[in-house]
Structure 1
Amino acid sequence: MKIIYKEGEGEIEEKKSRFIAHVYPVQSEEQAVSYINEVKKKYWDARHNCYAYVLGEDAGFQRFSDDGEPQGTAGKPILDIIMKSGIYNCLIIVTRYFGGTLLGTGGLIRAYQAASKEGLEHSTVLSVSDGVLAQIDADYNSIGKIQYICLEMHIDILKTEYTENVYMEMIVQAENYGQFVQKITDAFSGKISVVKIQQQKFGKSESGEVILLS
Structure 2
Amino acid sequence: MEGYLTLRPGLEAAATLVERKSRFIAQLAHVEDELEASRYIARMRTRYPDARHQVSAWVLADGRERAGDDGEPSGTAGIPVLRVLRDAGLRDACCVTSRYFGGTLLGRGGLVRAYGTCAKRAVEAARAAGSIAEMVSVVRIVIKLSHAHRGRVIRLVKIMDGRISQIEYSDEVQLDARFRQTDADRFLRAIAEFGSGCCRVRVDDPRIAEF
Normalising by structure 1, report the TM-score.
Answer: 0.74
Q: 1:10 aligns with which of 4, 14, 19?
A: 14
How is 1:182-197 mapped onto 2 (pairs within 5 angstroms)? 182-186=189-193, 188-193=194-199, 195-196=201-202
Matched residues in 2 for 1:169 and 1:177: separation?
Answer: 13
Cα shift at 1:82: 1.8
- Give how far 1:79 is off: 1.0
Mapped partners of 1:81, 1:195: distance in 2: 43
Indicate the larger mover: 159-168 or 188-197: 159-168
Q: CA deviation at 1:78?
A: 0.7
- Aligned amino acid, residue 123 of structure 2: L
SS of residue matched to 2:134: strand
| Secondary structure in 1 matching 2:72 | coil
> Alpha-carbon deviations, 1:101-153, whole Å to 9, x = none?
5544333322322322333342733333333212335537743x434433443
Q: Does residue 1:172 correspond to 2:179, yes or no?
A: yes
8 A contact 1:20–1:96 mirrored in 2: yes
CA contact (8 A) 2:139 2:184 kept: yes
Structure 1 residues 13, 199: CA separation in 2 closer, same or farther (over 3 Å shift)? same
Contact 1:181 1:194 in 2 (8 A): no
Correspondent of 2:35 among 26, 30, 33: 30
1:168 offset after TM fit, Å?
Answer: 3.2
Rounded to whole Å, the distance in 2 between the matches of 1:93 and 1:44 is: 13
1:75-90 matches, within 5 Å, as 75-90=78-93
Q: After superposition, where does 1:1-214 map in structure 2 within 5 Å?
A: 1-2=3-4, 3-6=6-9, 7-15=11-19, 16-55=21-60, 57=62, 59=63, 61-100=64-103, 102-121=105-124, 122=126, 124-137=131-144, 139=147, 142-143=150-151, 145-160=152-167, 167-186=174-193, 188-193=194-199, 195-196=201-202, 198-204=204-210, 210=211
Q: Is the alpha carbon distance of 1:163 and 1:13 closer, same or farther for their aligned partners in structure 2, counting shifts above 3 Å?
A: farther
Q: Residues 172-205 of structure 1: CA distance to partner in whole angstroms, max 9, x if unpaired?
A: 234543431231232x44443253263242433x
Tell me, which stretches of 5 or more residues in structure 1 are unaligned?
Answer: 205-209
Contact 1:8 1:119 in 2 (8 A): no
Give distance in 2, aligned partners of 1:197 and 1:141.
19
What are the Cα deviations for residues 151-175 of structure 1, in whole angstroms up to 9, with x where unaligned?
4433233345678876532112345
1:207 corresponds to: none
Change (3 A) 1:104 1:159: farther
- Compared CA separation, residues 181 and 107, structure 1 to 2 (3 A): same
Deviations 1:43-102 (A, max 9, x none): 111121101123452x2x332122222332210101111222333333211112234555
Structure 2 gap ranges (5+): none
* Aligned-residue identity in percent: 30
TM-score (normalised: structure 2) = 0.75
